[in-house]
Structure 1
């Protein structure tokens, strides 16, 4: 047997031995000194600490917001979880012992709320805790609740939508609205993507589907339904992620404000918003080459020649007019997002013009 096989055999032997020695009846007997409270998500406000005892990989992929990771499960083999020797160390018990106090009531969760959570209970007993929360059905309960909330939460809100071609500063205006205290759902920030082929945030990866849905749910849950929520006009897909149907439908019903900015100003805004285009031109060229299927090899080669010769304003202008604008028009038409738009003309994005535009958007003044 090789070393990996021996290690796996030891791990399987360990958990089988544990299951034989610590049966369900024994666990129940030991639990009598511990107040074990099984709860659903959202969990009670009396929870002081949330502990994710799943593997480090699963925790990194996503977890309940605010949870710390003290893994009892560290390996995955053919889709099955294997309890390793880490399940016999004192990490979780030391955490319990260190934090122990009359007010300390932690919540522990694993994937399904079964064996790993049972081991957590045993360690809580041995650490002498008075009370412990367990999440019914584990992390699965949380993801199910997130999906349920995404079916109902969006219906509570009125959305106001900022639309306009690429380079008109839509995200910039959203940030300014947020600074003024207005409710803003920044989908591109949550998705780490600007919604186009060149839109992935530089040096970032998009969140997993579970994390994306959780981020959306948490953002919506913090909003006041009596006030509007500002959002940028988006296609239903942002990079590899999709806006949940109910949320997208509510966004489509919102009042729309189309920002109109001169081409020269759009070029300035684009160079401001995409500085890494200039900083990492090789990465940019590799992405631009993918546009051959849409714009043809000759056109793409011309754009690449502009990059090589540092003609950035000309390159951005070409990309906006020849690629981004037609793509945006098709997207808006496909999603029937072109009706009932109020056009908002901006000469530039100077402080005076921006403040005047924000005043108009929020109803503080008439638009001139």
Structure 2
């Protein structure tokens, strides 16, 4: 049976097949993998119960009974994929081996990831800090609404290396952060997996936003958090009018369909803003009058919070950029990055 290391597997363009159950795959997986489960969630749970109650041999027997009827369909699905197939299960055991033997019997070129998904996770945890250390981070800072994300996206479009942590985490990092993204946040493991693969693709100089240790319920790896905290920093600023416009452009479509979630988020600010203020803000939201809400929150919540966080940081800015148009900021940042290169 051919085996390959996790490093070899993710470095190829071959199809990577995750034969674990859908629930296992959904929780976390190798980012480019395709899920072709040998056992569905119910069957996987049943085999696990048999293993705990009756032992390994009984579990293997029950697993074979459950997989036999579906092997034909699994083979038909996998046979449609060209080239070598790389398989993995949890530890590189029975599930991946049984499919590999089936495919080899029909002449397919197959490889199993040695140690399975567990070995891949060990690779991610072992090499994450190393990949972070190989890169110089340039971090954009600025008040809410200054347009950091849009500036990063524009720079990415021009070929600069960008790490958009909020996009990877599916959260914008505030009480309103979940509203900007459809779907739930990924698991911590999947966040780390996708982050690791993104780092592998990035050049030596990487632009990002300043983030706290947590984005929603997800934690940044310690090595990345420290690198961002001690990175080269760029401080961006623009007018309140520009900031309000940016927030409206970014979030207005989502806000109109998420009014209940918006009001719930406002309720979380009662301790800081008082009940009377939050009730007034919620009335404006019900009327879809978002501009005064944005302005008030920035002036009385986000800006004071940001200024306090700046006082706790020891940043040596390589650029302080006040701009009227985003294009001005982008050109100044490009000049700095090109000089660093």
Shift of 1:46: 6.3
5 Å-filtered alignment, 1:281-292, equals 281-292=259-270
Pairing 1:356–2:328 present: yes
What are the within-5 Å matches in structure 2 for residues 325-344 of structure 1?
A: 325-334=303-312, 336=313, 338-340=315-317, 342-344=319-321
Q: Relative contact order, CA 8 A, sep 6+: which one is greater?
A: 2
Q: CA deviation at 1:163?
A: 0.4
CA distance, structure 1, for counterparts of residue 15 and residue 186 of structure 2 = 24
Check conservation: 1:110, 1:138, Cα contact below 8 A.
yes
Q: Residue 255 of structure 1 corresponds to which residue in structure 2?
A: 232
Contact 2:27-2:187 at 8 Å conserved across structures: yes
Q: What displacement does 1:105 show? A: 2.5
Aligned 1:1-368 pairs, distance under 5 A: 36-43=1-8, 48-74=14-40, 75=42, 76-77=44-45, 80=48, 83=63, 85-89=66-70, 90-95=72-77, 97-98=79-80, 104-125=83-104, 127-129=105-107, 131-200=109-178, 201-225=180-204, 228-275=205-252, 276-334=254-312, 336=313, 338-340=315-317, 342-347=319-324, 349=325, 354-363=326-335
Change (3 A) 1:259 1:96: closer
Cα deviation 1:229-286 (Å, max 9, x = unaligned): 1101111111111111111111122221111111121111111111122343222112
SS in 1 for 2:203: coil
- Paired with 2:296 and 2:173, the residues of 1 have a C-alpha distance of 19
Q: Does the residue aligned with 1:42 lie in a helix, a strand or coil? A: helix
Unpaired runs of 5+ residues, structure 1, are: 1-35
Contact residue 112 and residue 139 of structure 1 kept, 8 A: yes
Matches of 2:297 and 2:271, distance apart in 1: 15
When residues 306 and 71 of structure 1 are mapped into structure 2, their CA distance, relative to the original with a 3 A threshold, is same
Q: Number of matched residues?
A: 319
Q: Distance in 2 between matches of 1:258 and 1:344?
A: 6
In the alignment, structure 2 segments of 5+ residues that lack a partner are 51-62
Cα RMSD, aligned residues only? 2.5
Q: Which has the higher helix share?
A: 2
Native 8 Å contact 2:166 2:173 kept in 1: yes
Greater C-alpha radius of gyration: 1
1:91, CA displacement in angstroms?
2.4
